[in-house]
Amino acid sequence: MSIYENLNPQQKEAVCQTEGPLLILAGAGSGKTRVLTHRIAYLIEEKGVNPWNIMAITFTNKAAQEMKERVDQIVGFGSESVWVTTFHSTCVRILRRYIDRIGFDNRFTIYDADDQKSLMKDICKRLQIDTKLYKERALLAQISHAKDQLVSPEEFELNSQGDYSKMRVAEVYKEYQTQLRRNNALDFDDLIMKTVELFQSCPEVLESYQERFRYIMVDEYQDTNLAQFQFVSLLASKYQNLCVVGDDDQSIYKFRGANIENILGFERVFSNTKVIRLEQNYRSTKNILQAANEVIQNNAQRKPKTLWTDNEEGNKVHFRHFLSGFEEAEYVVGDIAQKHREGICSYRDCAVLYRTNAQSRLFEEKFLMANIPYRLVGGVNFYARKEIKDLLSYLKTVDNAKDDLAVRRIINIPKRGIGATTLLRVQEYATEQDISFYDALKEAEKIPKLGRAAVKIQPFVTMIQSLRSEQRSFSVSELLDDVIERTGYVQDLIAEDTDESRARIENIDELITKATTYDKESENPTLGGFLEEVALVADIDTVDPNQDHVLLMTLHSAKGLEFSQVYLAGMEDGIFPSYMTIGSEDPGDMEEERRLCYVGITRAMKDLTMTSVQQRMIRGQAQYNKVSRFIYELPREVVDMGHKIEKKEIKTEVPRNNTYAQMREAFRAKAFQPRQFEVKKADKLSYEVGDTVRHVKFGVGIVKNIVEGGKDYEVTVDFDQVGVKKMFASFAKLKKI
C-alpha cells in the first residue's frame, strides 16, 4: 500500500502540488506536519528531486527535529541531505560561511536576552540615558522592532528627525550595533537581518543558495515578520517553488513583529498561487471544535474556513466560575488529582494554560501542597542560570575573545582580587587603543597606573591562552571539564555546602551531559557549533514529553502542542482579553486576543475546562472583573456551566462613636446565655462516595465512605494533604467541587 493512500483528498492534493507557489491553509490539528513530510517524500521518490535541493523551515527546534525524524522514517536513504531547520539556524549556517563579506568575523557570538540586557545597561551608562524615562527593555524592544522591519540605525535616525525621544532611541540603536560589531556578536534579530543584507549586497551568494534550494517549504507562515518574509522571498524568487503552510486563525505573535498580512496577502505577492484548505481535524472532539469555530468566526480579518472532525462528540466544554483565584486553583488541582486517581489520564496529559506568567503562582502552590509533579514552562531558562552562564562565558571567551561581555563576566569568577578601578582602566585603555577588552588584558603591563593589579590579571590571561590552544585537540566536553577544574568552580560550590550550591552542581552536571551528548551526536562537533546550539534553544524545546508531570504555561507557549486535558484559567475581561486590548482603538488587537483564545481551545483533545473568578488579587489589590467576552461567544449547547456560585452579602455596621448609643445598646442586649449546640441531621447530602469535596481546614479530598447514624452522617474522606479523616457531616460542612 502506498504511503499516500492514508492521506485525505485535500492532504493528497497538497502533497502532489509541487510546482509554483502554494498556500496551504491548515487548521489546528489538521495534519500539516504529515502533509509537509509526505510532500518531501513525494518530491524525492515520485518527482526525482535531489534531497539536496529541498529546504523546510519551522519555528522551533522541537518541530524541526520531529519533521526530520518523520522524513527519515518515510524516505530513508538520502533524507539527511534535506535541510530541515529553523529560521535562525538556517541564517546562522549561511552567515558562518559568508558574513565576512559584510565586515564580520565568521566566528561571531550569538547574544541571548540576558547578554542583550547587560550590553544595553552599559550603553545607557555610557550615553547617560535616564533609565527611568527610557527603560532598557523598552529600548531593546524598539530596536528589535526596527530590525524586524529591516530598518538600519541610519534609516531609524533619518526617520526620527524632529522627535527628541526617537532621536535618543536612534542614538542608542547606533551605539548598540557598534558595540555588537566590536564584540563580533549578533543578536537574534541580526541573524535574519544580516542574512537579508548579505543576499542583497552579494548577488552571487544569493544565487548559489537559490540554486541549492529549488523547493522551499515554510511552516507556521502566519508567524513570520517582514525580515523573514523578505528572506524567504529572496530565496524563492528564481524558481518560485515556494510552499507555505499556516493558519491565519493562529497568528498570535504580533508583539514579536509577526505580520498576519504575510499569509493574508500571499496570493497578491506571488501570482498564480494555488490555495488548498485543510479543514478536517484529527485532534479534538466535535464539541471542542464547535466551540473553537464559533469563537473565531467573530473575527473579520481572516480567511473563511470551518474545522470539522470524524471524532466522537465527546464531553461538553466545562465552564466554572469561582469566588477567588485561590478556589480556582484548588478546583483545577483537585480535578487533575481525581482524574489521575481514577485512571482517566496521566499527569503529562494535563496542561494548565493562562494569559500571563503571573497567574502561575497559585497553581504552583496548590500542586506542591497536593504533591502533584508539575513543570513550569517559561520560568528561568536553564541556560540563563548564573552557574551555566558563567561556564558558557568561559567557553565563549575561548571561542571568540572579542566578546567583551563574556570576558568581563568571568574576569573575577572565581574571585581574583581584580577591583572595579582596575577594570575601568583596562576598558579605557581598550577604547583608546581601539582593541578588545581581552587584548587589553594581554597588554596589562603597558596600562598606566595599573601597578600591581597587572600581576593579578596575568594568571587569567595565561589560563585563557592555554584553553584556546587546547580547543583544536579537545572535545567540547573535555574543554568544559578542563574549565571547571582550572577555575575550581565546582570545588567552591562543594565547600559552600548549601541546598542552593548543591542544586547548582546538579545544573553543571546537566551541562556536562549536554556537551557529551553534543560530542557524540554531532557530525562535526566544534566549540562554536555547541555554543550556537545552546544559544538557539527555546524554553519549549527542553520539555520532555516522557516525564509524567502537569505542564503550566502561557497560551503563547502552548502553540503547536496538544493535550488530552486542558484547563484554560483566568477567563475574565481585564485578564483575557487584557485591559490594554479592551481599551485599544485598533480592532486588530481584540482579534489577536480572540485568535489566542482559539489557540487555547484547540490545544484540547478530549476535555476542556475554562475557569473564571469573581475577585482576583492583582499587584496586592482586589480586582473585580466580568466573565470574559470570549465565554459568551461559546455556543451554549456545547457548554456545561457547572454549579453557580452565589454572591455572599457582606453586612456592614456603622461604627458607634456615640457613648449614649452604646449604653442604650448594652441595656437592650440579653443577658449572657451559654450557646446551645444542636445537631440537625440533613435529609440528604450534596455529595456521594467518590465525589471530590473541600474542607475549610483540610483542603481537597475524595469521599471514601458514608455511614448513616441516628443523629448525623459519619463521612470518611481521603484528603490530599492530611490523609484519611472521619467526621460528622453537620460539623464538617464539606462542599462538593
Residues annotated as part of the active site: 32-33, 219-220, 250, 603
Q: Is 378 annotated as a binding residue?
A: no
Number of H helices, E strands in the chain: 30, 21
Exposure string for 712-722, b = 16+ CB within 10 A, e = fewer: bbebbbebbee
Q: Is 701 annotated as a binding residue?
A: no
Strand partners, 706: 715
Asked whether the beta carbons of 471 and 398 are under 8 A apart, the reply is yes
- At residue 582, the 3 state secondary structure works out as helix
Buried b (16+ CB within 10 A) or exposed e, 529-539: bbbbbbbbbeb
CA–CA separation, 715 and 735 (whole Å): 13
The rounded distance, in Å, linking the Cα atoms of 674 and 293 is 62
Give me 590's grid cell.
481584540
Q: Cis (ω within 30 of 0) for the bond into 577?
A: yes
32 is in an annotated binding site: yes
- Copy the grid coordinates of residue 370: 497536593
Alpha-carbon torsion (577, 578, 583, 584), positive or negative: negative
**Dihedral sign computed on CA atoms, order 508, 514, 520, 525:** negative
Q: How many Å apart are CA 398 and CA 465, to the nearest integer?
A: 8
What is the C-alpha end-to-end distance of the chain, expressed in Å? 51
- The answer on whether 670 is annotated among ligand-binding residues is no
CB 612 within 8 A of CB 630: no
Query: Is 27 annotated as belonging to a binding site?
Result: yes
DSSP string, 280-301: B-SSS-HHHHHHHHHHHTT-SS
Burial of 236 (0-12, 13-18, 19+ CB in 10 A): buried
H or E stretch covering 185: strand 185-186
CB 527 within 8 A of CB 534: no
Is residue 517 marked as binding? Answer: no
| DSSP tag of 532 | H
Q: Check if the beta carbon of residue 49 is closer than 8 Å to that of residue 43.
A: yes
Residue type at 407 in one-letter notation: V
Annotated binding-site members for ATP: 26-33
Q: Which residues are annotated as a binding site?
A: 26-33
